[in-house]
A and B are shown apart, each in its own frame.
Chain A
Amino acid sequence: MSLITTASQTVGPYVKIGFLPLAVDAIAPKDAAGERVTVHGRVVDGDGKLVTDSVIEIWQADAEGRYAHPEGAKGQPAAFRGFGRILTDGKGEFRFSTIKPGRVPGPDGALQAPHLVVTVFMRGLLKHLLTRVYFPGESANSDDPVLNLVPADRRGTLIATVAAGSKSTLEWNVIVQGKNETVFFDF
């Protein structure tokens, strides 16, 4: 008989008090190797309203595909921690800068396409949501074992788009419910 995992409860409307002290929107240090990107977007609820009290957390590998974790370091420490925590602002928008991660191992020896893992918290979510951001124009996306679990007509919600004017600025939105709803995972 094992113990039972403690039940999740919402972060509520005052999450900023608890999460702001360790907020991070510059995930990779300036000297980290790799292709630098800025990702911005909005969090939108089922009424199409912008969510001003949500938090997204990012987990990612460095440019060499190393996670800063005992199981993910491939014998060499990762270049940076790989953790981001961004609170949406008064317009329901978020923005963070990082480097595009390298490919990490997937099932059966295959490699996954570069991706960020995203956790979403907000008032009204009794438990957090888990999703991913993939990169536009990345040839490995078509073979990615996780992306291929997603119905083809919804895969686009997990792939960032190039924002007008700058190749290094990507847009990716979290649509919690309704038209173009983001794919969330049962994890």
Chain B
Amino acid sequence: MSNIAGYRRPYYDTQPPYLYPGYKSTVKRSPRAPLVHLPHTLSEVTGPMFGSDDVAPGDADLTAQHDAAPLGERIVVSGRILDENSKPVAHALVELWQANASGRYAHDVDDHDAPLDPNFTGAGRALTDANGFYSFRTIKPGAYPWRNHYNAWRPAHLHFSLFGLGLVQRLVTQMYFPGDPLLAYDPMYNSVPDARARERLVSIFDWERTIPDIALAFRFDIVLRGRDETPMETSRS
């Protein structure tokens, strides 16, 4: 019924399900009734636009938000935001939040017995450039325990939030670090059925962007949904 070009739906098994009992909180926080298939209308192919008014200079450097430097291993995290058609997503808002180097969040509900760092809040923002490139400077977050199951630990991760051009490109994900032994045991990471899609959540050590004497670097490219070139026919939905 739609006669506006929509965005493509995810490939089979490349996104996690709503109900994944290995991650306990999904059991009571996932819908049970069938979802209603929504053809994309103008309301879904448009979406909020952000710009330089929303991002202050320095927002992309999480190591320089306080009087002194935070504790931890300084890292550069950068990459490109592309759509499925390999087109860069320019001037897109990228939000990042994370735990400190000890694995503790600057949040009132985090009661993990690890020190807060008065010099680390753990939130940043950036806009992609015309080529879809973004870059943050931060510290490597620590792993931390959670109550999902006995002796459960989250692998070190950064939370990423992305806005594309259309609302149905909206994405919130997590970036992991290469070689982390906790990934094999993490229900969130393993909730993505397709192995290749899962492995794409792991960043790559980025030798070219290391800063000598200052910071190591990791690359994390993110792909948002791609748009169809032509409207879908009524009968196919």
Contact = CB atoms under 8 A, between A and B. Distances in A.
Contacts of B129: none
A12 B30 contact: no
B118 to A, nearest CB: 15
B93 to A, nearest CB: 8
Given A14-B105, A124-B25, A149-B37, A69 B46 contact: yes
Given A59-B48, A68-B48, A107-B1, A177 B29 contact: yes
Interface residues of B, number: 82
Given A126-B16, A126-B20, A72 B42 contact: yes
Interface string B203-237: 00000000000000000001111100000000000
Q: Which of A4, A22, A49, A122 has the most CB of B within 10 A?
A: A4
B131 interface: no
A3 B95 contact: no
A74 B48 CA distance: 16
A181 B33 contact: yes
B19 to A, nearest CB: 9
A71 interface: yes
Given A53-B109, A183-B36, A5 B95 contact: no
Contacts of A107: 1-4, 39, 41
Interface in A17-51: 17-22, 45-47, 49, 51
A84 to B, nearest CB: 9
Interface string A133-146: 00000000000011
A46 B40 CA distance: 28
Q: How large is the interface on A (under 10, 10 to 19, 20 to 34, 35 or more residues)?
A: 35 or more
Contacts of B68: none
Given A16-B107, A45-B28, A6 B47 contact: no
Given A17-B105, A107-B2, A146-B41, A7 B46 contact: no
A115 interface: yes
Nearest to B28: A46
Given A5-B14, A7-B197, A181 B32 contact: yes
Nearest to B196: A4
Q: Which of A20, A59, A119, A126 has the most CB of B within 10 A?
A: A126
Contact of A124 (B14, B29, B107): B29
Q: What secondary structure prevails in chain B residues at the interface with A? A: loop
B38 A146 contact: yes
B30 A176 contact: yes
Interface in B92-108: 93, 95-97, 99, 105-107
A6 B168 contact: no
B29 A104 contact: no
A95 to B, nearest CB: 20
B16 A5 contact: no
A172 interface: no
Interface of B: 1-4, 8, 10-11, 14-18, 20, 23, 25-33, 35-49, 54, 82-86, 93, 95-97, 99, 105-107, 109-110, 121-123, 125, 159, 161, 165, 167-168, 170-174, 188-189, 191-192, 196-198, 200-201, 222-226
18 contacts: A4-B11, A4-B84, A4-B197, A4-B223, A6-B171, A6-B201, A7-B14, A7-B200, A8-B172, A13-B107, A21-B95, A51-B29, A105-B42, A121-B172, A122-B29, A126-B188, A176-B30, A186-B38
Given A11-B161, A15-B97, A186-B37, 6 more contacts: A3-B223, A3-B226, A9-B16, A20-B123, A68-B49, A146-B41
